[in-house]
């Protein structure tokens, strides 16, 4: 029997990975539909359909034939960097997935689907207890997942690593400890100053006009609507089925303009990343994002460094005044800029300002850590949540919907995701600093409504690498050094000193 060359083995590997991606993305289409258009009575069977596809994808991925092809390639080690790196990363994923039985994968998928619908019902009824039983089962499965994967020091490490390779409790404890004191100091400085006015954001803004503006905004900022679409959902999110089919959702509150505008920009950042990944690497690591932290760096970069900048306000306040002349007729660019950057503790994470946002993340991080280690029970979540919001932000939580039911993540089984929001913000500040150095006219281009130079820079420096580099490797390749939280602290200190004059 003639031994196959590395090129032939790689072709076998690529074809199998394409087939696995087909199944996974078919499941993702069903999940997207589940969160946007699925009728209520279709929930139970939809969960079964998604579980079946998840089980099939797992079976394909853990097939010994695929493993043999990868071993042959890795033993020869004579392919170009990207091809070799694809195989190395897939081998890591393969060895992890081999630790899970098909029955476990199916049970986890079914539990996630059931949990999502019970979360939706609990939100409608404003009653955490309706979600508690399914969530409790899901937490048990995530603990089992951590045990199956294996970990050092803390079971939560296994789940953190799945969202950002190399992330650990020890690392995050240190980052949040250092950040907490600095953020508290900035908040205290702001509290002592006269508060800025943002009441103009909370007038009546008709739903259809908000929707029209949102579509115009994401298109002008670079979203390819021939390779994506926007819809409405309970919680804004981004999903993709390939780089030419990337979908986002938003939500509209007719008495809160900011909710729609900045959720659109946030999800746009995610979508631009997905649309910019190498099309010819479909189903392979080089066609996937570097990590959830880098993914969040893209959404936070667009939402905060672009969407809450003075230049953005100069460009888009006049546009908003075209859509809402009565509501915004007496608002200046300076008033608008200050209003959209108001710092004030609030109960909702997705609508929090840049400074207090990270207290929301810290609370969720500490809570998840306790749930996974078993020192906090599911039924104790509302009490713990409310206590921590009082301790960190001085807020009294009114109800479960405003409190521990506000995020969709747990119903998806996404334990270990929340820390990436803060890490993403820190990466965003450092990456944006480098982008501004490379594009001297960046601010003036944004003022003109031209974000193409920034998008081109991101494609060249971030998107094209896919998952071939870790978060830290990518940061070093772009910035010449690993993550440094002082870029973020410098950014918010300069910004809010100017806004609050302290």
Second-level CATH architecture of 169-500: Orthogonal Bundle (1.10)
pTM over 0.75: yes
Model pLDDT, residue 58: 96
Helix (H) or strand (E) holding 357: helix 357-373
**3-state DSSP helix/strand/coil percent for the chain, to nearest 5?**
70, 5, 25
Active-site residue set: 267
- pLDDT, one tens digit per residue, over 258-288 is 999 999 999 999 999 999 999 999 999 999 9
Indicate the average pLDDT of the chain: 96
The domain segmentation of the chain, as residue ranges, is 6-150, 169-500
Per-residue tokens: 66: 């695929």
In the prediction, which pLDDT does 472 show? 95
- CB-based contacts of 28, cutoff 8 Å, min separation 6: 239, 240, 241
The answer to whether 258 and 251 are in contact (CB under 8 A) is no
| pLDDT score recorded for residue 234 | 84
pLDDT in tens, 158-201: 999 999 999 999 999 999 998 999 999 999 999 889 999 999 99
> In sequence order, what are the beta bridge partners of 240?
246
Residue 31 pLDDT grade (very low, low, confident, very high; cuts 50, 70, 90): very high
If residue 158 lies in a helix (H) or strand (E), which one and from where to where? helix 156-163
């Amino acid at each position: 029997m003639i031994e196959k060359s590395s090129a032939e083995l790689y072709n076998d590997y690529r074809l199998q990975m394409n087939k696995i991606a087909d199944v996974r993305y078919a499941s993702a289409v069903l999940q997207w539909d589940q969160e946007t258009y699925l009728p209520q009575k279709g929930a139970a069977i939809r969960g079964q359909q998604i579980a079946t596809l998840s089980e099939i994808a797992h079976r394909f991925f853990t097939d010994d034939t695929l493993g043999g092809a990868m071993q042959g390639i890795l033993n020869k080690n004579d392919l170009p960097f990207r091809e070799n790196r694809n195989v190395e990363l897939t081998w890591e994923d393969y060895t992890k997935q081999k630790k899970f039985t098909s029955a476990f994968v199916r049970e986890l998928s079914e539990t996630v689907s059931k949990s999502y619908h019970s979360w939706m019902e609990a939100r409608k009824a404003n009653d955490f207890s309706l979600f508690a039983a399914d969530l409790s089962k899901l937490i048990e499965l995530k603990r089992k997942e951590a045990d199956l994967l294996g970990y050092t020091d803390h079971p939560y490490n296994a789940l953190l690593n799945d969202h950002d390779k190399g992330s650990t409790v020890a690392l995050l404890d240190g980052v949040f400890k250092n950040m907490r004191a600095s953020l508290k100091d900035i908040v205290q400085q702001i509290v002592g100053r006269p508060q800025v006015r943002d009441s103009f954001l909370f007038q009546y803004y008709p739903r259809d006009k908000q929707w029209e503006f949102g579509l115009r905004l994401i298109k002008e900022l670079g979203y390819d609507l021939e390779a994506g679409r926007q819809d409405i959902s309970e919680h804004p999110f981004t999903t993709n089925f390939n780089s030419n089919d990337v979908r986002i959702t938003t939500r509209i509150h007719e008495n809160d303009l900011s909710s729609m505008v900045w959720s659109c920009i946030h999800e746009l950042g995610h979508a631009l990343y997905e649309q910019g990944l190498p099309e010819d690497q479909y189903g392979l690591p080089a066609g996937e994002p570097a990590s959830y932290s880098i993914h969040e760096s893209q959404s936070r970069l667009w939402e905060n460094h672009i969407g809450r900048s003075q230049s953005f306000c100069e460009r888009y306040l006049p546009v908003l005044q075209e859509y809402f002349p009565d509501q915004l007729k007496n608002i200046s660019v300076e008033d608008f800029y200050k209003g959209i950057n108001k710092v004030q503790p609030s109960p909702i994470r997705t609508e929090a300002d840049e400074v207090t946002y990270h207290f929301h993340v810290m609370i969720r991080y500490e809570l998840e850590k306790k749930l996974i280690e078993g020192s906090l029970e599911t039924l104790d979540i509302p009490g713990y949540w409310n206590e921590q919001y009082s301790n960190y932000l001085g807020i009294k939580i009114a109800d479960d919907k405003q409190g521990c039911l506000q995020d969709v993540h747990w119903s998806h089984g996404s334990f270990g995701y929340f820390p990436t929001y803060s890490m993403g913000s820190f990466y965003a500040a450092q990456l944006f600093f480098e982008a501004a150095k490379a594009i001297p006219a960046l601010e003036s281009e944004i003022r003109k409504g031209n974000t193409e130079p920034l998008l081109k820079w991101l494609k060249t420096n971030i998107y094209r690498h896919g998952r071939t580099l870790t978060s830290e490797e990518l940061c070093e390749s772009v910035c010449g050094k690993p993550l440094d939280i002082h870029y973020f602290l410098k950014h918010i200190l300069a910004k809010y000193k100017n806004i609050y004059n302290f």
